[in-house]
């Protein structure tokens, strides 16, 4: 199997087009799941401090390295700066590195474009959205240009090979591009046939910034987690257009959703604890979709967002 890559700017590093998402995996199962994913062929692992399992992700990677499945240079590790560390980037990254058991990450992303009041590691870690004992978020007076300058310092010090952003809108990116010394290498946002953001994706790629989708299966994981908004929408896997295209190519509906993103030169980071589904998802690299089918999926766009702080109940209207 040939692994396809996105070439990152300005480093020139090659990032696998399809990776493995580390969110929402049972902590006890995580090391073996990561090990299995490496054995199957995944080389990119999309993690983050607020996924609550970076220690276990690192354990799985180190197990695979010890067994000779991969070398450190062959694994592309993503971590994310949580909102409570916008004024303390080094502290946040160093904690992630310590938990992962690594000297550097290949990509460090700002998880959300909002600074929340700092929570000391010894008080609570990962800190989540709220201060201990609070029921609502507390924003911090940390402007993004200060946070990004600290992110740039992490590259200069060799703790992160590349830096980027997640859940940023166009206005925030345009502002950042006006002052940054090191431009973001990657934008990671929610993208799926129900939320396509086509104009934004094309504009970002035109700036030389790679794009990776999360939640490529739309409402699936959110519905499984009990989100009413997601449960009220037809599953992508049951959508007649997706099902007909899957039948045409003798593929699983999940593969169709992933292939649609890959056809846009957008990376994906699906997650599964099943080895067989891991293989199925990774196989999305190995076939092509006719343009008429891509256009049919393009008609499914409804602007439906499922990962929104407002839906979670937090007073953070970042997508408005």
User: Distance between CA atoms of 189 and 183, rounded to whole angstroms?
Assistant: 17
Distance, CA of 139 to chain centre: 23
Residue 140, C-beta contacts closer than 8 angstroms, at least 6 positions apart: 84, 86, 87, 115, 116, 117, 118
Among left, alpha and beta (phi > 0; psi -120 to 50; other), residue 72 is alpha
Q: Which of 5, 35, 42, 51 is catalytic?
A: 51
11: phi then psi, degrees, rounded to nearest 5: -75, -30
What percent helix, strand, coil does the chain show, rounded to 5?
A: 40, 15, 45
- The CA distances from residue 71 to 76, 107, 239, in Å, are 10, 17, 41
86 is in an annotated binding site: no
User: Distance between CA atoms of 104 and 62, rounded to whole angstroms?
Assistant: 14
188 close to 109: Cβ distance less than 8 angstroms: yes
The residue assigned the tokens 């593969």 is: 255
200 is catalytic: no
Q: Which residues are annotated as a binding site for substrate?
A: 111
The binding site comprises 111
Residues annotated as catalytic are 51
């Amino acid at each position: 199997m040939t692994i396809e890559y996105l070439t990152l700017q300005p480093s020139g590093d090659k990032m696998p087009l399809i990776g493995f998402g580390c969110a929402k995996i049972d902590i006890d199962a995580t090391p073996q799941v990561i090990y299995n994913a490496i054995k199957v062929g995944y080389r990119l692992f999309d993690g983050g401090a607020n996924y609550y399992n970076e220690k276990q992700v690192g354990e799985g990677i180190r197990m695979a390295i010890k067994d000779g499945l991969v070398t450190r240079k062959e694994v592309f590790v993503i971590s994310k700066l949580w909102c409570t560390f916008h004024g303390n980037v080094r502290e946040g990254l160093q904690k992630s590195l310590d938990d992962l058991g690594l000297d550097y990450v290949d990509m460090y992303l700002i998880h959300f474009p909002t600074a929340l009041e700092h929570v000391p590691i010894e008080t609570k870690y990962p800190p989540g959205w709220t201060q201990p004992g609070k029921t609502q978020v507390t924003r911090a007076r940390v402007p993004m240009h200060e946070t990004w300058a600290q992110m740039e310092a992490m590259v200069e010090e060799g703790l992160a090979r590349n830096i980027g952003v997640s859940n940023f809108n166009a206005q925030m990116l345009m502002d950042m591009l006006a002052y940054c010394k090191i431009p973001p290498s990657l934008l990671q946002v929610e993208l799926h046939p129900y939320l396509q953001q086509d104009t934004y994706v094309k504009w970002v790629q035109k700036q030389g910034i790679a794009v990776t989708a999360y939640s490529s299966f739309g409402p699936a994981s959110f519905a499984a987690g009990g989100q009413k908004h997601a449960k009220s929408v037809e599953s992508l896997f049951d959508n007649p257009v997706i099902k007909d295209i899957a039948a045409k190519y003798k593929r699983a509906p999940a593969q169709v959703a992933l292939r649609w993103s890959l056809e846009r030169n957008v990376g994906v980071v699906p997650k599964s604890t099943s080895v067989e589904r891991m293989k199925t998802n990774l196989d999305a690299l190995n076939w092509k979709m006719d343009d008429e089918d891509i256009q049919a999926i393009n008609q499914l766009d409804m602007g439906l967002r499922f990962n929104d702080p407002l839906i979670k109940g937090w007073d953070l209207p970042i997508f408005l």
